[in-house]
Amino acid sequence: MVSTSPNDAFVAFEHVQKSYDGVSLVVKDLNLSIGKGEFLTMLGPSGSGKTTCLMMLAGFETATHGRIMLDGTNINEVPPHKRGIGMVFQNYALFPHMTVGENLSFPLEVRGIGKSEREAKVKRALDMVQMYSFINRRPAQLSGGQQQRIALARALVFDPSLVLMDEPLGALDKQLREHMQFEIKHLHESLGITVVYVTHDQGEALTMSDRVAVFNDGRIQQLASPSDLYERPDNSFVAQFIGENNKLPGVIESIGDGKCTVRLTTGEVIDATPVNVSEKGAKTLVSIRPERVEYKPEMMPAGAHTIDAEVMEFIYMGDLFRTRLRVAGSDEFVIKSRNTLGQRMLSPGEKIKIGWAPQDARALDPM
């Protein structure tokens, strides 16, 4: 079980703020506790503050206000090279004039480790990423994926208890990026290290993390496990940023006992689970995931809410069908259905009924 209490957190941001101009805050009163051995991802769009938080933890940026704690010690004034933190960057940051072995040996030399121990640690780190046979090559002789493996090995070579990764897979192609996601996750699990990972790729965050902190406008919008973020978003920003999401605007007609009814702008009334909405008459956006919606009557969940729809576009995607519909005045309502044997194709202009379980519709604060 990952510890999240500020009292025993391995990494803690306590009321941390960051401003570059003394006026506007890039990071606004951040409080975040990270447990020892946890894989935590900071996820958000460009400019949301996630990379600034990572750079403050690494020591490359200083906090304007608040404390950053590492294993119970305030590290605000500790220089980067004395924090004992491993770093992996998107651009690899390998020394081009050094061989692979020399690149890994360098951080050990800086720490005063003897030659025989250095050689053993370099071999162990390269074996972890299956790159020992490349020990005498220079970075220019390696592919992008190989260079990223070397950068990862260099971050691990001195046995840090904390490794920070800043968009490390952003320069790789899709297939290699997905392969490296699993490699990094498996290394994390086998070594038991704490990892703080920054990305704007929500699929990457969901695949790799124990918990994800979703950033926007310098604040954490939600901190939760990948499944909670996807299935139970706290607000409309998180619902839209994490995966594909249908939004139906409306007004709360009644609310109580963990349920509410919403009158959509086109007049239909639907049931939903209220999230961050608390009173009758409040505006809301009803969130429904595309894969939670059915159009085949035999597949409708018990007690499903049904609504009229018109097919706008039907796309074959191999394992899935992606159907875009006109629903409640919107032409951008999407459903995703599995490609099953004998499934009927839909045609543009076709009128159908769609349905979903009431608990799969979430009435969110429209922000």
Are 204 and 90 contained in the same domain? yes
Q: Is residue 3 part of a domain?
A: no
- Give tens-digit pLDDT for 250-299: 999 999 988 999 999 999 999 999 998 888 999 999 999 999 999 887 77
Q: Is residue 2 part of a domain?
A: no
pLDDT for position 6? 55
pLDDT for position 284? 93
Q: Is residue 262 part of a domain?
A: yes
Q: Is a pLDDT exceeding 90 seen at residue 90?
A: no
Are 169 and 258 contained in the same domain? no
Q: Is residue 5 part of a domain?
A: no
pLDDT for position 4? 56
**pLDDT (mean) for 66-73:** 96
Are 41 and 160 contained in the same domain? yes
**pLDDT (mean) for 39-48:** 95
Are 193 and 259 contained in the same domain? no
Minimum mean pLDDT range among 153-167, 279-293, 333-347, 351-365: 333-347
Instruction: Mark which of 218, 236, 254 sits at the end of a domain.
Output: 236
Burial of 319 per CB tally in 10 Å (0-12, 13-18, 19+): exposed
Instruction: Mark which of 236, 253, 288 sits at the end of a domain.
Output: 236
pLDDT for position 3? 43
Are 133 and 276 contained in the same domain? no
Are 227 and 294 contained in the same domain? no
Q: Is a pLDDT exceeding 90 seen at residue 76?
A: yes
Minimum mean pLDDT range among 88-92, 163-167, 209-213, 360-364: 88-92
Minimum mean pLDDT range among 206-220, 235-249, 331-345: 331-345
In which residue are the tokens 């032409």 written? 331
Per the prediction, the chain carries an average pLDDT of 91
Total tally of structural domains belonging to the chain: 2
Are 216 and 266 contained in the same domain? no
Are 41 and 155 contained in the same domain? yes
In which residue are the tokens 């040996």 written? 105
- Give tens-digit pLDDT for 151-197: 999 999 988 999 999 998 887 888 888 888 998 998 899 889 999 99
Q: Is a pLDDT exceeding 70 seen at residue 330?
A: yes
Domain around 198: 11-236
Are 48 and 140 contained in the same domain? yes
- What pTM did the predictor assign? 0.86
Q: Is residue 1 part of a domain?
A: no
Confidence of residue 1 (pLDDT cuts 50, 70, 90): very low
Q: Is residue 77 part of a domain?
A: yes
| Residue 121: CA count within 13 A, CB half-sphere | 22
pLDDT for position 110? 85
Are 54 and 116 contained in the same domain? yes
**pLDDT (mean) for 120-127:** 93
Q: What is the CATH number of the domain that holds 144?
A: 3.40.50.300
Are 65 and 134 contained in the same domain? yes
Q: What is the CATH number of the domain that holds 300?
A: 2.40.50.140
Q: Is residue 6 part of a domain?
A: no
Instruction: Report how far residue 178's alpha carbon sits from residue 184's, in angstroms, rounded to the nearest whole number.
Output: 10
pLDDT for position 298? 77
Instruction: Mark which of 201, 236, 271 sits at the end of a domain.
Output: 236
Are 226 and 274 contained in the same domain? no
Q: Could you tell me which residue, 92 or 231, shows the higher pLDDT? A: 231
Q: Is residue 4 part of a domain?
A: no
| Residue 223: CA count within 13 A, CB half-sphere | 13
pLDDT for position 5? 56
